[in-house]
Structure formats: structure tokens, C-alpha cells
């Protein structure tokens, strides 16, 4: 039989390799930025058009390339960064595979201009799908500019597979953040569609973090510094009260390279143990420096995962240093009996001023005054602790005219126990007590008796359904009621979050939000939906942003639905919340006034029923 094995032509091999290196425009951004850093640039400009689908250009003032190198750089396995396999164990550059430029050139139109400092003139190269179209001598400043146009022009399937511009731009910005955070000593500028998104001058690490994430970040940061034989840690963690719903502000860098590590992330979370609210994530920006010999970066093609020789030790040191920092800044108790004393840095107590302990006494306290005046003297207004239960729980359901819609219940299986029957058995006084048809248990479920037996509701899911249908109604009818805030509420967001908020603005207004300003990193709110407490606003918006990010928008993505889902999730009564009888009954009634009472907005069961027969069987 004839031989059938052939070597793949280079351009085919390159296209295949490109699939691994270049998943989306953001991958190109990462590779080009990293090359610029490896070329020792101190100013790097990123220019993006249409979320990278039309253009990605990186201009650096680094060392540039000779004409021969410029051509060679597009060959596969062409790298100036390693020569032998041993070099892999002492890497101090970002790249080393020599694959990126070859892969990018295989699937895009590339134009490169490059010049070395000592040369008069530079080189201009044009490549389309691995073929060199032209090579010229050109006038260009020192450094390299690579423009990547029409990504995936020759792989339509990949091009169609790209997500919306918003999603792709978010990935690009994420990569940009990662690179910029790892290199505060380099100035970065980023433009998208002609407008400047980021301008990050050379600065210290704290300023870099603040320049990226906004001015309010500064007060959140707690420094972490530790140096041991195996590991040096420097950077910041966020104060627990600023923990976020999203994991957007979690960054590990190992030897200046952004990495993902669930294991090290766990170390940090465990340092925050007991300090965070459920579902919130601490911010961290941590640089770990280890001996390059003790890590293997080679295990992942896009190089965001690395392998450490001694993960356990790193875990322990990291956890302990973060804990220590939180303690130092009076955020957590300093005493930690699990702490390994060998890892301790001796802190210089001599330099600390001893302060006389202070006891705060309310000098105006008079036990014979009546309660009202006492509380005033204490600086509390008396209604701050006297809640009015009715108003409280009713506010949970504002906007849902459950009474009116109750009649057109299309729910036939469940019949409620009719009141008059039971009433007649008892005297008027006792009937108030025994009329009870709902019970709450474990602050999680509500039992309601029904004619055929009983029904058990999941309070959180049921309330989500009630709120969800209410919000949807407002969003479509567009006549929400809002309450005006006494003082405008100013909230800070990152640029990516601001982009999402701008898109959701109109829908948010339909739920009752009133915005007085949208700035680069800030929004100003003057009105909120009537049932939303002011203190919850930032939580709701954060939850919403995290939901937007998780929901990969596609053709049938509906901002309205997402907003209704997200807000109902944030505002629904939680598991663990005890409800008065009135509240329980109101919840049951409102649920069955819904169009689809049996499932939560995310399609989870809201209630189950058990018939008397079911019970009878159990007692046989």
C-alpha cells in the first residue's frame, strides 16, 4: 500500500497552533503586550477598534528588531528568549514559546514596524495569513508597532464564534488590567474606538491599583508585605467591609505574571474567615516572587496556570501574612493560635507609641429620664430601634397588587382551608390564635395547611418569584414608583462596570432608579425604587453586574429579564430570616397571585404539597 502520511504545510500547522494561542481578540492583546514588556519598553500604547475585531495595535518604545529578526519573528518556534530546554527553568521573560506572532499572522492581516535604537531606518512588514505581502524600509521611531487587523478573516467559523463587542472588550480590558497591574513601572495607555479608556502613568503599586479601579479603592487597601526564604509577598488586600459580590478584583501575580490559582485563592479566603458576609469576595492584588526554578509555567498554553513545587508552604505563608495584615490594621483579631511562629516577621514594637486606654462614658446619662429623652441624649433617634413591623414587611411587596389579582388565580390544585369552618368551632377570642394556617420552620420554609393536606414553601424562592413578576411588570409598563433620596448616593465602579451600567441605565430607570450623573468611574443616584432600602443599593448593583458578567449575552439575552431576576435575588427575603405570621400569610398569598407560582425565576421549585393520603401512608 502507498504511503499516506504527509507533513502539514506550514500555514496549516500555524493555523492549528493559532487555535491554541488565539482564542479571541484578548489573547492577541495579551501576547502583544507581553512582547512589548519583554522588549524592555517603558511606554506601551494599546489601540483597539470594535473590541479587537477590526484592529488591535500595540506600540512600544522597546528595543525593536533588526530586519532579519523582524522576518524571523513570524516563524514558528522562533524566539530570542530561550536557547536550551534548561533555560525554561530560569525564565525571566513572559514569552518563550516563539509561537505567538506566527499564530497571529496565520489568522489575521498583520503590519509590523520596528526599529532598533542604533539604526537610522526601520522595517515595515505586511503579512496576511502567514504570507509575507511586502517588506520595506521605513521611517519609524525606536521600538515596535504591530497592528493586527481582521482577526480570523480566514476562519469564518471562529469569527462567528466571537461574542458581542461588550463581552470581547471586557476580556481585552481584563488582560490589559492584568498586564498593567504587574508592571507599574511601565506607562500604559489604552484607546477603544478613538477614545482613551485608560491612561496609566509610571507609578507605585498603590497608585496603579487606584488608577485602574478608581479613587475610592485607595481607602480599601491594606498592605501585605512578607519575605521568607522561599517566597516574597507584596501588594494589597481589601478591607473586609469592601468585599465584593464579584471576583473582579482578585489578582495574583507570580514573578510578574498573572496567574489563576484556586488553591492560593482558598488561602486568602481562609485568612478572611469570619470577616466576610456570605457570597462576598475579598479584593486582592498580590505579587508573589519565587525562585523561577520552583515553578513550572509550561503546563498551560495560555500560561495563566502554573505549578509550584511546594504549594503547601506557599499556602501557609500566604494565609498567615494576609491574616497578619488584616490584624495589624485592626481589622481582625491579631491573636491567631494557629499561626506558625517561624513564619513571623518580628515587628518593631519599640517604635510604637503607647496610648492610654480610653473609655467612652455617656456623661449625660440620667437613669430617671424617660426612654425617649435618654435615647436622644445618646445620639440615637428613638425610632432607630423601634421598628414598625407592618411597614417593614409591607415594603417587601410594594408594587404588587396581589389583592386585586388574587381573583384571577389560575391555580387549581391547591385550595386553601376556608376560614369560617374552623372559626365556628371556637369562641371569638381563641379563634385568633387557632386560625393560624401558616408556620415557619428553620427560618427557611413556610408550611401552609390546605384542604387536601399541606404545602411547604421555600421562603427565599417564593419571594423571588413574587418580586420578579412585580419587577417585570414595572419594566414593561415603565411606570415605576421611586423614592427620592435625601442626599445623592455616589457609587464608584470600574470602567467595565460603567459600560454595563450605561447599557442597563434605561431599564434601571424603569424599576425606579433615578440617576443624576454618569461619570468616568462614578454614578450619582438621586432616587431608588420604592421598595429598595438605600443601604442595599450598592449590593443590588454589584449583584446585577456580576450577573451580567456571568450571563454570556447571546441573541436571546434580555436585559429586562436579567435585571428583574437579579434584583429579585438581591431583595428577596433570605433563608434564616424569621417572618411574622402576617408576613408568612402575605407571602403565601402573593405567591399564588403570581402567573407562575410553582417555580422561582431561575426555575427552581418554590413549594411542594403533601396530601393527607401521603401522611396516612407514612403512619401505616
**Which residues contact Mg ion (rule: CB under 5 A)?**
35, 95, 100
| Residue 586 binds which entry of ligand ADP, Mg ion, none, CB below 5-8 Å type-dependent | none
Q: Which is nearer to ligand ADP, 300 or 581 (CB)?
A: 300
Q: Which is nearer to ligand ADP, 95 or 238 (CB)?
A: 95
Helical pair 559-571 and 537-550, crossing angle rounded to 10 deg: 130
Binding mask 140-179 for ligand ADP (x = CB under 6 A): ----x-----------------------------------
Q: State the minimum distance, in angstroms, from the CB of residue 98 to ligand ADP.
A: 4
Interactions with ligand ADP, residue window 45-64 (CB under 6 A): 60, 62-64
Helical pair 25-38 and 165-182, crossing angle rounded to 10 deg: 20
| Residue 52 binds which entry of Mg ion, ligand ADP, none, CB below 5-8 Å type-dependent | none
Binding mask 72-111 for ligand ADP (x = CB under 6 A): -x----xxxx-------------xxxxxxxx---------
Identify the helix (H) or strand (E) that includes residue 452.
none
Q: State the minimum distance, in angstroms, from the CB of residue 29 to Mg ion.
A: 12
Binding mask 431-450 for ligand ADP (x = CB under 6 A): --------------------
Q: Yes or no: say if 144 and 65 are a contact pair by the CB < 8 Å rule.
A: yes
Q: Which is nearer to ligand ADP, 64 or 512 (CB)?
A: 64
For 367, counting Cβ atoms within 10 Å of its Cβ (0-12 exposed, 13-18 middle, 19+ buried), the class is exposed
Identify the helix (H) or strand (E) that includes residue 206.
helix 205-213
Q: Which is nearer to Mg ion, 146 or 318 (CB)?
A: 146
Residue 467: which of 594, 598, 581 has the closest Cα? Answer: 594
User: Judged by CB under 6 A, does residue 530 bind ligand ADP?
Assistant: no
> How crowded is the C-beta side of 155, counted as CA atoms within 13 Å?
25
Residue 461: which of 546, 560, 573 has the closest Cα? Answer: 573
Q: Which is nearer to ligand ADP, 102 or 108 (CB)?
A: 102
Give the CA-trace dihedral at 603, 476, 525, 385, to 10 degrees. Answer: -60
| Residue 96 binds which entry of Mg ion, ligand ADP, none, CB below 5-8 Å type-dependent | ligand ADP
| Residue 39 binds which entry of Mg ion, ligand ADP, none, CB below 5-8 Å type-dependent | ligand ADP
Among positions 26, 28, 55, 65, the unique one binding ligand ADP when judged by CB under 6 A: 65
Among positions 17, 29, 33, 36, the unique one binding ligand ADP when judged by CB under 6 A: 36
Beta bridge partners of 441: 445
Q: State the minimum distance, in angstroms, from the CB of residue 495 to Mg ion.
A: 26
Give the CA-trace dihedral at 295, 298, 304, 310, to 10 degrees. Answer: -20
Q: State the minimum distance, in angstroms, from the CB of residue 21 to ligand ADP.
A: 9
| Residue 81 binds which entry of Mg ion, ligand ADP, none, CB below 5-8 Å type-dependent | ligand ADP
| Residue 97 binds which entry of Mg ion, ligand ADP, none, CB below 5-8 Å type-dependent | ligand ADP
Residue 47: which of 120, 145, 132 has the closest Cα? Answer: 145
For residue 367 the three cell numbers come to 437613669
Q: State the minimum distance, in angstroms, from the CB of residue 156 to ligand ADP.
A: 25
For residue 402 the three cell numbers come to 396581589
Backbone angles phi, psi at 198, to 5 degrees: -140, 140
Distance CA(449)–CA(455), nearest Å, equals 6
Identify the helix (H) or strand (E) that includes residue 332.
none
Identify the helix (H) or strand (E) that includes residue 400.
none
Look at residue 492 and give its three-state secondary structure: strand
| Residue 469 binds which entry of ligand ADP, Mg ion, none, CB below 5-8 Å type-dependent | none
Binding stretches for ligand ADP (CB under 6 A): 31, 35-36, 39, 60, 62-65, 73, 78-81, 95-102, 144
Amino acid at each position: 500500500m502507498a504511503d499516506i502520511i504527509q507533513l502539514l504545510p506550514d500555514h496549516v500547522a500555524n493555523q492549528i497552533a493559532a487555535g491554541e494561542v488565539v482564542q479571541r481578540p484578548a489573547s492577541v492583546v495579551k501576547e502583544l503586550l507581553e512582547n512589548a514588556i519583554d522588549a524592555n519598553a517603558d511606554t506601551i500604547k494599546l489601540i483597539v477598534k470594535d473590541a479587537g475585531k477590526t484592529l488591535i495595535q500595540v506600540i512600544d518604545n522597546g528595543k525593536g528588531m533588526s530586519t532579519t529578526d523582524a522576518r524571523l519573528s513570524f516563524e514558528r518556534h522562533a524566539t530570542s528568549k530561550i536557547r536550551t530546554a534548561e533555560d525554561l527553568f530560569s525564565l525571566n521573560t513572559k514569552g518563550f514559546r516563539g509561537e505567538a506572532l506566527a499564530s497571529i499572522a496565520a489568522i489575521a492581516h498583520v503590519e509590523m514596524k520596528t526599529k532598533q535604537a542604533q539604526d537610522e531606518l526601520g522595517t515595515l512588514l505586511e503579512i496576511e495569513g502567514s504570507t509575507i505581502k511586502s517588506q520595506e524600509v521605513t521611517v519609524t521611531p525606536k521600538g515596535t508597532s504591530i497592528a493586527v487587523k481582521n482577526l480570523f478573516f480566514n476562519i469564518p467559523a471562529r469569527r462567528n464564534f466571537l461574542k458581542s463587542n461588550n463581552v470581547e472588550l471586557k476580556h481585552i480590558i481584563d488582560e490589559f488590567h492584568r498586564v498593567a497591574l504587574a508592571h507599574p513601572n511601565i506607562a500604559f495607555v489604552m484607546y477603544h474606538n478613538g477614545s482613551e479608556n485608560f491612561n496609566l502613568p509610571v507609578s507605585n503599586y498603590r497608585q496603579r491599583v487606584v488608577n485602574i479601579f478608581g479613587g475610592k479603592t485607595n481607602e480599601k487597601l491594606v498592605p501585605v508585605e512578607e519575605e521568607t526564604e522561599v517566597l516574597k509577598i507584596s501588594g494589597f488586600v481589601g478591607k473586609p467591609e469592601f468585599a465584593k459580590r464579584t471576583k473582579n478584583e482578585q489578582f495574583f501575580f507570580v514573578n510578574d505574571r498573572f496567574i489563576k490559582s484556586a488553591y492560593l485563592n482558598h488561602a486568602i479566603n481562609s485568612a478572611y474567615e469570619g470577616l466576610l458576609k456570605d457570597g462576598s469576595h475579598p479584593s486582592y492584588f498580590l505579587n508573589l516572587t519565587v525562585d523561577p526554578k520552583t515553578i513550572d509555567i509550561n503546563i498551560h498554553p495560555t500560561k495563566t496556570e502554573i505549578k509550584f513545587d511546594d504549594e503547601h508552604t506557599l499556602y501557609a505563608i500566604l494565609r498567615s501574612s494576609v491574616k497578619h495584615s488584616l490584624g495589624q490594621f485592626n481589622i481582625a483579631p491579631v491573636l491567631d493560635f494557629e499561626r506558625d511562629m517561624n513564619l513571623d516577621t518580628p515587628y518593631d514594637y519599640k517604635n510604637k507609641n503607647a496610648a492610654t486606654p480610653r473609655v467612652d462614658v455617656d456623661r449625660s446619662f440620667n437613669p430617671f429620664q424617660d426612654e425617649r429623652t435618654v435615647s436622644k441624649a445618646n445620639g440615637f433617634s428613638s425610632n432607630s430601634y423601634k421598628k414598625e413591623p407592618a411597614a417593614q414587611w409591607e415594603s417587601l411587596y410594594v408594587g404588587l397588587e396581589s389583592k386585586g389579582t388574587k381573583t384571577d388565580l389560575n391555580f387549581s390544585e391547591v385550595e386553601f382551608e376556608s376560614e369560617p369552618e374552623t372559626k365556628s368551632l371556637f369562641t371569638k377570642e381563641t379563634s385568633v390564635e387557632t386560625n393560624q394556617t401558616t408556620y415557619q420552620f428553620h427560618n427557611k420554609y413556610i408550611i401552609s395547611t390546605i384542604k387536601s393536606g399541606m404545602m411547604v414553601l421555600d421562603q427565599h424562592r417564593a419571594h423571588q418569584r413574587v418580586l420578579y413578576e412585580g419587577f417585570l411588570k414595572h419594566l414593561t409598563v415603565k411606570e415605576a414608583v421611586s423614592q427620592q433620596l435625601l442626599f445623592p448616593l455616589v457609587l464608584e465602579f470600574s470602567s467595565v462596570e460603567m459600560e454595563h451600567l450605561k447599557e442597563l441605565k434605561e431599564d434601571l430607570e424603569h424599576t425606579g432608579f433615578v440617576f443624576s450623573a454618569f461619570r468616568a468611574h462614578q454614578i450619582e443616584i438621586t432616587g431608588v425604587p420604592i421598595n429598595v432600602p438605600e443601604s442595599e443599593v450598592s449590593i443590588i448593583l454589584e449583584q446585577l453586574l456580576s450577573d451580567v458578567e456571568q450571563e454570556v449575552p447571546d441573541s436571546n439575552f434580555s436585559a429586562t429579564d436579567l435585571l428583574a431576576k437579579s434584583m429579585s435575588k438581591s431583595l428577596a427575603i433570605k433563608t434564616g430570616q424569621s417572618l411574622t405570621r402576617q408576613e408568612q400569610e402575605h407571602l403565601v398569598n402573593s405567591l399564588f397571585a403570581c402567573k407562575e407560582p410553582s417555580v422561582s425565576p431561575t426555575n427552581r421549585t418554590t413549594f411542594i404539597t403533601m396530601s393527607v393520603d401521603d401522611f396516612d401512608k407514612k403512619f401505616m
